[in-house]
Amino acid sequence: MVDHSTIMKNGRCMECGAMELDRYSCYEQFGFPLAWEHQDPELYALHFWLVSCYMIQHPSNYTDAGYDQLVDLFRDAYDNNWDAATILRENRERIQTVGKIANPLPSNERSRSQRSWTRTINDVYIGGEAMAIDNIKKWRDAIRSEL
């Protein structure tokens, strides 16, 4: 099982800078849209974007090669307006050339550095389920412009 735990310090994520809200870490906030998408096919269609946005902002979950592969896939999918089937196919093909993707170190032993992002999971969580589609698209667009 991959450990995606985040480390919060002074109420902020040590990687993405998201604030703790309602006593939820950024990782716990991430769980809300993952649950919401099971009720809404339009929201579920954005699953790749939701997950990749979150993971790009938490590089400690990956090896260097795994992270670079994720960023390259994100850029190519965004720039070429790929559909979900194309993204999945490309991901399967690219993973074979990367080797180890997930960081093997336990969460508390990983190196982390904070980066300032225009948008984080906070924006999706705060907007709630009703605004999730729009907020994930805005998050995706912001990350693409910041990569």
Count of domains observed in the chain: 1
CA 129, 58, 88 angle in degrees (round to 5)? Answer: 70
SS3 state at 9: strand
pLDDT of residue 2: 46
Q: Is residue 7 part of a domain?
A: no
What does the pLDDT look like over 36-52, one tens digit per residue? Answer: 999 999 999 999 999 99
Which residues form the domain of 75?
16-146
**Band of pLDDT at residue 24, cut at 50, 70 and 90:** very high
Q: Is residue 35 part of a domain?
A: yes
Q: Is residue 82 part of a domain?
A: yes
What pTM value is reported for the model? 0.92
Find, among 50, 47, 55, the residue nearest to 16 by Cα: 55
Through-space distance between the first and last CA atoms of the chain, rounded to whole angstroms: 28
pLDDT at 113 over 60: yes
Residue 27, sorted as left (phi over 0), alpha (psi -120 to 50) or beta, turns out to be alpha
Q: Which residues pair with 19 in a beta bridge?
A: 12
Q: Is residue 3 part of a domain?
A: no
Q: Is residue 44 part of a domain?
A: yes
Mean pLDDT of the 121-146 span: 98
Q: Is residue 98 part of a domain?
A: yes
Q: Is residue 5 part of a domain?
A: no
